[in-house]
Amino acid sequence: MRLLIAALLLPLPAAAACNGTTLISCTIKGTDTLEVCLSGDDLTYAYGPKGAAPDLTLREPLARGTYTPWNGIGRSMWDSITFTNGEYTYEVYASFDRLDENAITEQGVSILKNGNFVTTLTCDPARGMTLFDNLSDQMGARGYCWNRDSFVWARICPD
Report the alpha-carbon distance of residue 48 to residue 73 in Å, rounded.
34
- Give me the pLDDT at residue 103, please: 84
Report the alpha-carbon distance of residue 26 to residue 36 in Å, rounded.
9
- 10-residue averages of pLDDT along the chain (159 residues): 33 52 90 93 94 94 89 87 97 90 90 98 78 81 84 78
Spell out the domain ranges in the chain.
Answer: 2-139
Nearest to 5 by CA among 138, 140, 129: 129
Nearest to 90 by CA among 48, 124, 53, 125: 48
